[in-house]
Amino acid sequence: MRRLRAEGAYGPVLREVLPALTAVVVALCAVVAGLAVGYRVAGIGVPLGALAVLAVACSVAVRRNRPPARRRLGFYTPEELAELDTQGLALAVSRMLRRDGWRVLPSRRSEARVRVRARDGHGRRLEVAFRPVAEPLPDEDVPSRPGRPGGPGPPLRLVVHRGAFTRRDVQWARRQGGVRLIDGSCLRRWAHGTPLNELGDSS
The CA distance from 41 to 6, in Å, is 54
- Give the pLDDT confidence score for residue 39 in this predicted structure: 78
Position 44 confidence tier, pLDDT thresholds 50, 70, 90: confident
* Domain covering 75-198 in this structure, CATH number: 3.40.1350
Non-local CB neighbours of 165 within 8 Å, separated by 6+ positions: 133, 134, 173, 181, 183, 202, 203
The CA distance from 184 to 190, in Å, is 10
Q: Give 124-140 as a DSSP string.
A: -EEEEEE-SSSSPPTTT
Q: Is 187 exposed, middle or buried (0-12, 13-18, 19+ CB in 10 A)?
A: buried
pLDDT digits (tens, 9 = 90+) for 80-131: 999 998 899 999 999 999 999 999 998 877 666 788 999 988 888 999 998 8
What's the angle, vertex CA 72, arms to CA 69 and CA 73, rounded to 5?
Answer: 90
| pTM for the predicted model, two decimal places | 0.61
Give the residue from 185, 197, 198, 165 showing the smallest Cα distance to 78.
185
